[in-house]
Structures are given as C-alpha cells and as structure tokens.
Structure 1
Amino acid sequence: MNIDEPLWTSSELATACNADSARPWFADGLQTDSRLVLPGDLFVALKGDNYDGHAFVKEALGKGAAAVLVSDVPEGIADDEPRLVRVGDVLPALEKMAAYAVMRAPVCTLAVTGSVGKTSIVHALKKALANSGDTHTSVRSYNNHIGLPVSMARMPRGARYGIFEVGISEPGEMSDRARVIQPDVVLVSTLGPAHVGNFASIDAIIEEKARIFDGMRPGGTAIIASDGPYAERMIHAAEARGLTVIKVSAECENKEADVYPLHASERFDCSCLTADVGGTIVTYRIGEPGKAWLLNSLMVLAAVKETGADLGGAALSLATLVAERGRGRTHHLTWDDQGFMLIDDSYNANPVSMEAALDRIGALPVGHTARRVGVFADMAELGDLTADAHEALAGKMRAAGLTKVFAIGQGMAGAARAAGLAVEEFDDTTDLARQLLSDVRQDDVLLVKGANKAGLEGVVRTLLETATVSTEFGHSGMALSAAAE
C-alpha cells in the first residue's frame, strides 16, 4: 500500500462526508464492484433499484479491502468489524467525496457533454494533455449519476487536469452533475435528439444541456461546436451566464468561428489539416479518419490552448490517436481468404452519430467488386420521433454508397429498403456474425452501429475472435496497422 500518497484516508473521508471509521486506514483505490476489489481498496456499497452493494461487502472484505463504505451493517458481518465505515446514505456520501477530490487537487476541471463524440473527446483530451501534467479522466463512458462521482472520487490528489464526461437521460439531471464537477472549462459537442423519448421535445433537451453552465466556476470558458442547428442556443446560454465562449467549426475558412480549419484532407486511415486555433496556426495529423474526428480534434486543441497547456505537443499526440472500442475503431480482418475492413461503432447510436458514421463509410474508397455494408440495429429512446428518425436515414444510406444492410429492427430495415438496398433482417444478434462471415467479400467495408441494448458489441467480439487480424487491406496495396486487441 502506498501510504505516502493514498487515494483516500479515514480522516479525509470523515471530512468529506462525515464518515465514521472504527480505526485509521489508507486506501489505494476505489471500487463499486466487489469482483474488481484488490487488497488496499475502498469498497463503496452503493444501492440501486435492482441491486445492493451491501450484499457483497463480505466478498470485498475477503479480497482485502482496506475499508468498506456502508449505510448499515450487512447480514453476516459483525457489528464491530473494524473495516466498516458508516455514513447515512452511500450515494450522497460518494457525491461529497467527488467534490472533495476536486477541491484537494491542484486541478483544472474540464466537462464534456453533447449528443455525439463525448467519450472520444475525453479520450483524445487525455492524450493531448498528458505531456503537460498528470491527467485523470472518466472511466470509459461513466457519465451518469453514479459513474460520474465514481470517476471523480478516483482522482489522485496530484492530478493537474480532471476530464469528465457528462450525460443526461432524464430532465433535471444536468445542474446537479455540473455543480459536483464545478468545471473550469466545458466542451459541448454537436447536439441532436439523443434520449428525446425521455423529454418533452428537442428544445427541452437543449435547455437541459445548457444547465451544465450553472455549475461552472467564475471566469469559466465554454467551448461549443458551432456548426449544428442548436449551437446558437448554447452559445447564448453560455454568454448569458457571463462565460467566455469559444466557437469551434469543422468547416474550412469559417471565420465566424474562433477555431476552424484553413484546409483539410482526408484519407481512409487518417486526416490532415492546418487550423486556426484562436489565432495560432497549427498543422497536424489525426490518426483517425472522418469529419467527426476533425471536429473532435479542434475541440481538443481549443481546450488545450485555453488551459495553457502545450499546444504543439497536443497536436503531435493526435497523430497516434486510436479510437476506443465501439466508437469507430477500425479493424482489418481476413476470413476464408477474404480481406475486409470492420468499423466498430457498436457502442450506441442516435440520429447525429448515425449520420456521422454514414459520412465516414461513404468517404472510404472501395474497389470495383467490393461493397460498403451496414450492420445496423434500431436507434432507441427517440419517442415520437422514432419512425421519422429512421426514415430520414434512407437518403444518408444511399448517399454513403451502401450496397447491403444487415438489420436488427424494423426501423433500419425500412430505411434500407427505402434507399433501394439489399436487406437481411434479424430478430437478434444470435446468428448475425456467422451470416456476416459467410457473406463477406474481398475488400468489403463493414460498419457496425446501433442502440447499445441491441448487443452489437457481441457481434464485433465474435468477428474479432473468429477472423484473422490482417496487416494488408484492400486494393490500395497499403500496409496498415491492425487495431484488433
């Protein structure tokens, strides 16, 4: 155990949330899943609608937890167990720990929200800021009422930058999350009708998103993607709160923005551009293709400059960027002597991210006999907009040059038929991977995307486990690095 710089101590926990410990202790890590507990960790026994972490306290203690945070003594645990740390309610205590973790560190906090690209921006920001100081980020896409305070409470006391993803799925959530983070800088990516089924309208979503500005520290900065139809409302909301606003555009020579490309070029495996970043001209390469990543990179560089970090080093870091699993990562595979490209965008889908994914596959070159193939599951949480949102994809599918669609759900199947494409429908993912492998041709490009609940990540996993990773792909004859893990 590292007692010189532990993550949490009994005295700090008492200060942060009035926790009562039977004895002094130090913890190196924090876990809410007993299966992940290592010796020296603090186990936080959260309660939810369908689970109670108190039922796993015995397991956590058996694995060597330094302490367990509880609201009552679990069954089978002695009242005088010295590692029990008691609070009135565990989740509010965790939120207080999150706020304390920000207060104790010499940290600049950055919050990332929007309808698309949040996790990718967090991932790229961490890479870009790492050379300028110790950087801590959200775990994967931990952005809800539990994941966010967990990520914050895990922040080391010496962190220089804290980068946190903020998501919403219900009205009334954003203000509380913003006040826990107290961000110095907020990045707002492109906005659209994600989770609209849980809101009265798209307008209600935009209003809720703007609440992220409520918790900002005085003198804060809002970095806003300015190309979308709802950007002006976010800009006005930030200005009304007295924040500095930096507008970021992916359109070349858009001098109405503060950050924009002067010129850009795309390949199937990367993008290169020269950009005006708030008056500083930067030329750099992005290790991922597509206009969405172009915008992401500009948002990142705007944030790096605003925090006073190393802008040149940040730009260099983007050349080695690799998308995270499920968020556009490219794999080059071979099956039955057929080499093909797999774009794993399986984590989730909404109208904005679907359009971005279709733009990306449409920009990829394919040979005369090769195809662009969509593997799509219906989008979710769109409420009354569900039918219209899927129908609107027909033109995008056609413009992307898709030849065929493997569809889970009537929405995607209907859109593909309206686009005049060949369609194979599936009720679930059970036989989908097998069918894809039996259908694939040399140099095909497969894009996998849909609602998270459809389980398309399992299809991707099966393809990666079954096919062979290749370093040669396509008619271009170029050697490529395999990203499969």
Structure 2
Amino acid sequence: MTLWTAAEIAQATGGTVHGDFVVDGATFDSREVEPGDLFIAMPGTAHDGHDFVAGAFEKGAHGALVSKTVDGPHVLVVDVTTALDALASAARDRLSDDAVVIGVTGSVGKTSTKEALYAALDRSSRGKAHRSVKSYNNHTGVPLSLVRCPRDVKFAVFEMGMNHSGEIAALTRLARPHIALITAIAPAHIENLGSMEAIADAKAEIFEGLVGDGVAIIPEDTPYSDQLIKKAKRHARTIMTFGSGEADVAPLNQAPASGGGTLITARLRGGRLTYTMRQPGDHWVTNSLAVLAAVEAAGGDVAVAGLALAELGGLKGRGARHRIKVGEGEALLIDESYNANSASMAATLKSLASEQGRKVAILGTMKELGEQSARLHAELAAHVIAAGVEKAILVGAETAPLFAALDGQITVHHVENTDAAIGLTETVIRPGDAILVKASNSMGLGKLVDKLAGGSA
C-alpha cells in the first residue's frame, strides 16, 4: 500500500508539487534512504538536509520534502520542520476509528517496553502493528514515526522522550494516544529538571494528549504513583497500574525458567496468564507486566502477547547478549551500552548477579545528573558488590566517586575513555566470564561492545 502520494503530502503541508510521485517510506537521514522513500530535507545546526537531496535520489528516493527548489520530484514548502509536523498530524488523522494508538515514556525501560509491546501487538494483529524505530522519540523522531505509519494499522506504538519540561506535552498532543504508559520514574535528566517530582510531572505530560476513552497506565512501585495518578485523572477515563502488591497487573508467582528468563503467573484485570519472559532480570518482569497491561487495555490478545514475550530477543545496546571468544574459550557479553541512570544500573547489576561465571562490570558515566552526579555514582558501589562483581572497569571522569567507593573491595580500574577501556579488556576478561557493559550512550561504550562482539563464538 502506498504510504503517501505527492498530492497528499502537498495537501497536508500546504506545499506545491513539482513532479508527481508516490512513496512507501520516509526518512530525514540520508544514510537510511531506501528505494521508494520520501527524503525529508531537515535543516540542522551542523548540516542542511538539502545538501543531501541529490544523494538521496541516487539511492532511490522517489521524492523529497524541501523548502528550496531541487532537481527531482519534490513538494516545496515554506519550512520543512513545520511541514513535518503537519504531515505527522495528517498521518494521525487518517488512521481508522478502530486503530489504537499507544504512547510510551518513562525514565527507564521505555525503548525496551515499546519494542516488547510492538512484538506482542504485531503478532496478535498478524503484522498490522507499527512503532517508532530505534529511539526516535524526540521533536523530530515522533513526527517522523507518525509519517511512517501505514494508514491501515490496527495498533501504533510511539515512544516519547524528553530532556526538559513541556517536551512530552507537545509530542503527545501530536500523537493523540488512546493509551499512555509510563514505565518508571528515575533520576534521568535531573540536571535539567531539578528534582524527582519535576521528572514525574514531565513524564505525566503524556496523559495530556489522551483521546477517546483514554487509558493511563502507571507503575505501582514508585514513590510518585500518587502524583502520576492525580495528573492522569484529569485526562484519562481509566487508570491501570502494574507492578507488585495490589496493582491491576501483578505477578502472583515467578521462578527462573528452564531455558532462561523468568516463568511468571500474572494477575490481569481479565484473569490470569502464565507466560515466560525470555529476557532475564526483575526489570524485565516489570516491563512485561507493563506490556500486558497495555495489550489488555488495547483489546489485544494477551495469550499471544505471552508467546511474543517468550521469544523476545535482546536489543542492541539494551540487553543484547553475545557469546564471545576469549582465548581458547567463551564468555557472555551483555550489551547495555545505550543508556544508563541509577535505576537502570541497579537493575542490570542485579540481573548480572544471577549469571554463571565470574562477574565483570564495565561501567561508564551516567550523564545529566547535575549536582547529584558524585553521590549517585558512589551509591552504585553497593549494587556492584551485591552483584558479586570481582573486576570492574570504570570509564569517564564522573565515575571517580564510584572508583573511590570500590577501591580496596574488588579489583577496579579507572580510565578516561572507551579506547583505554578496550585496551584493558585484553588483560581483565577471561573465558567463562559474564561481562556487563553499561553507560550513557555518549560515552561510546558501544564501540567496546562491537570490538568484543567481533569475536562472537
């Protein structure tokens, strides 16, 4: 099915057509252009997308959205950024009344939960689900994800992120979700927002865009649940909670699964479900509960969702697991290199404790913690020790307080950058190790993962 015609793009954006075309995809990254795509020439601080239009056509783009006349079929608009938002709004408008739109945000686990939710809904709808890819969750990523949404989907899942107050409010009003899910509240971006209460308020902005019989899904196991519920009541007709205790969706029993992961019997609003969460760790148990709450709220098949969770693989940078060659043997490499804050660090270290073999932690700086950075890094020491880590490599100047807290308790190295950490791995890791790599993405520890995984067994 055609994604957009030139006439539809022009009508949505107020632009003019120069050379008729149809497209079945869209991107604003010239490196991602596929044959048949619409190339959106976004302005930028470092590069202007118009400089890459010719290359996009060479790679097979069928048309371009531009604010300057170019060679090749295009829709000419006054401002490309404004036009992208307008096209995104038109994409949302054309979805059928039966389609269910779900917004996902949170300080921890939003991308992983979004991917798991998509897998569950795509399976139950036989391929009629859509989601934002990668971490396209900001002021350009969410509109692009909407523009990419096929007109005949049954379920659409959009991730929404923020660095400052007010950002999610704008995104949710564009996406207009029927269901809004918050995964967790943690001190991510506290440097910009100032307090945990402010972070909770910023995440709760997602409820402002709810439409129809709006459903708000809220984590039970957070000190800010009452704050979130109070905000949700202003916009949602139904509020669901997930987590422990009296939450609407909660585990009744859980135990290690024979093939890895966790076997869970959960209480849902509509009954019980026993399923396996393939990805290991308590944090993934919680993520799975959030997924089931959203599937149930969306009218999806929770039994099929359970099957999808049992088959869910790890994501690059967010839990992907590699068997790597080390000397004459192998080691387990757990890739959590894309994102980090104190809550996700604690969760993944706890999960590391259950792995077989000697525990090695390669941990980088947690960014955007402001004045609390030194304290929050130092407090990770207790989690490192509790996980049974025997050797650690700490990367970045901000991890110095953690180094000081661990020094003398375990073998620990402190280096300034990823290249130095890569050099150390040759002498630190050995066959049989379970190695966790985790940091904020800007630390570049994905490069270390790629180097080690190049020796995958």
Q: What's the TM-score once normalised by structure 1's chain length?
A: 0.89
Quick one: distance in 2 between partners of 1:415 and 1:82? 55
Contact in 1 for aligned 2:346/2:383 (Cα 8 Å): yes
Aligned-residue CA RMSD (Å): 1.6
Q: Does 1:84 align with 2:80?
A: no
Q: What is the CA distance between 1:23 and its match in structure 2? A: 3.6
Query: 1:442: how far off?
Result: 3.0
Partner of 1:269, secondary structure, is coil
1:146 to 140, 148, 152: 140
Work out whether residues 266 and 290 of structure 1, in 8 Å CA contact, stay in contact via their aligned partners in 2.
no
Partner of 1:424: 413
Give 1:122's aligned residue.
Answer: 114
Please tell me the residue identity of whatever aligns with 2:334: I
1:394 and 2:386 are equivalent in the alignment: no
Query: 2: CA distance between counterparts of 1:94 and 1:137?
Result: 18
Find the counterpart in structure 2 of residue 321 from structure 1. Answer: 312
After TM superposition, the structure 1 = structure 2 runs for residues 165-180 of structure 1, keeping only pairs within 5 Å, are 165-180=159-174
State the secondary structure of the residue aligned to 1:352.
Answer: helix
Q: What is the alpha-carbon distance in structure 1 between the residues aligned to residue 88 and residue 74 of structure 2?
A: 20
Is the CA contact 2:379–2:402 (under 8 Å) kept in the aligned structure 1?
yes
Q: Which residue of 2 aligns with 1:473?
A: none
User: Which residue, out of 30, 40, 54, partners 1:44?
Assistant: 40
Q: Secondary structure in 2 aligned to 1:423?
A: strand
1:361 correspondence with 2:361: no
The one of 218, 224, 227 aligned to 1:224: 218
**Alpha-carbon displacement from aligned partner over 1:409-431 (angstroms, at most 9, x marks no partner):** 24434324413222112121114
| Aligned equivalent of 1:436 | 425
Contact 1:7 1:29 in 2 (8 A): yes
Distance 1:435 1:200 in 2: 36
- For 1:192-207, list aligned pairs within 5 A: 192-207=186-201
Q: Distance in 2 between matches of 1:136 and 1:242?
A: 23
Report if the CA contact (8 A) 1:270-1:287 is conserved.
yes
- For the pair 1:287 / 2:278, whether they are aligned, the reply is yes
Tell me the equivalent position of 1:480: none
What is the aligned partner in structure 1 of residue 451 from structure 2?
Answer: 462
Find out whether 1:247 has 2:241 as its counterpart. yes
Runs of 4+ in structure 1 deviating by more than 3 angstroms, as ranges, are none
2:205 aligned residue: 211
Are the structure 2 counterparts of residues 82 and 406 from structure 1 closer, same or farther at C-alpha, using a change threshold of 3 Å?
closer
CA contact under 8 A between 1:405 and 1:413: conserved in structure 2? Answer: no
Are the counterparts in 1 of residues 326 and 430 from structure 2 also a CA contact under 8 Å? no
SS at match of 1:144: coil
Once the two structures are overlaid, the 10-residue window that deviates more, 19-28 or 156-165, is 19-28
State the Cα deviation string for residues 406-460 of structure 1 (Å, max 9, x = none).
Answer: 0112443432441322211212111423421332223211100011111000000
TM-score w.r.t. length of structure 2: 0.95
| Of 221-230 and 455-464, the range deviating more from structure 2 | 221-230
Deviates more, 1:292-301 or 1:402-411: 402-411
Distance in 1 of aligned mates of 2:58 and 2:435: 46
Q: Is the 8 A contact 1:391 1:411 kept in 2?
A: no
How many matched pairs? 450
Percent identical across equivalent pairs?
Answer: 38
**Counterpart residue number, 2:269:** 278
Structure 2: 5+ residue stretches without partners: none
Query: Once the two structures are superposed, what CA deviation does each residue of 1:84-133 show, in whole Å capped at 9, x if it has no partner?
Result: 31111111111111121122122211011000111111111111111332
Q: Partner of 1:111 in structure 2?
A: 103
> Structure 1 unaligned runs (5+)?
470-485
For the residues of structure 1 that align with 2:208 and 2:170, how far apart are their CA atoms?
9
Match for residue 476 of structure 1? none
Partner in structure 2 of residue 305 of structure 1: 296
Show the counterpart of 2:369: 382
Q: What SS does structure 2 have at the residue aligned with 1:240?
A: coil
Work out the CA distance in 2 between the residues paired with 1:464 and 1:357.
Answer: 19
- CA offset digits 1:460-485 (Å, max 9, x no partner): 000011x241xxxxxxxxxxxxxxxx
For residues 290 and 38 of structure 1, the distance between their equivalents in structure 2, rounded to whole angstroms, comes to 37
State the shift of 1:82 in Å.
5.5
Distance in 2 separating the partners of 1:343 and 1:60: 36
**Letter of the structure 1 residue corresponding to residue 285 of structure 2:** L
Corresponding residue for residue 234 of structure 1: 228
Candidates 34, 59, 74, aligned match of 2:30: 34
For 1:2-13, list aligned pairs within 5 A: 5-13=1-9
SS at match of 2:149: coil
The Cα offsets for residues 218-251 of structure 1, whole Å up to 9 and x where unpaired, read as: 32101111102222211221023343110101x3
For residues 28 and 221 of structure 1, the distance between their equivalents in structure 2, rounded to whole angstroms, comes to 32
Kept after mapping to 2: 8 A contact 1:397/1:416: no
Supply the AA of the counterpart residue of 2:54: K
- What SS class does the counterpart of residue 363 from structure 1 fall into? coil
Letter in 2 for 1:90: V
For 2:215, give the aligned amino acid. T
Pairing 1:98–2:92 present: no
1:29/1:279 CA distance change after superposition, 3 Å = closer
Residue identity in the other structure for 2:345: M
State the secondary structure of the residue aligned to 1:392: helix
Q: Give the structure 2 partner of residue 260 of structure 1.
A: 250
Structure 1 residue matching 2:419: 3-state secondary structure: coil
How far, CA to CA, are the matches of 1:206 and 1:400 in structure 2?
29
Task: Report if aligned partners of 2:38, 2:65 keep a CA contact under 8 Å in 1.
Answer: yes
The aligned counterpart of 2:16 is 20
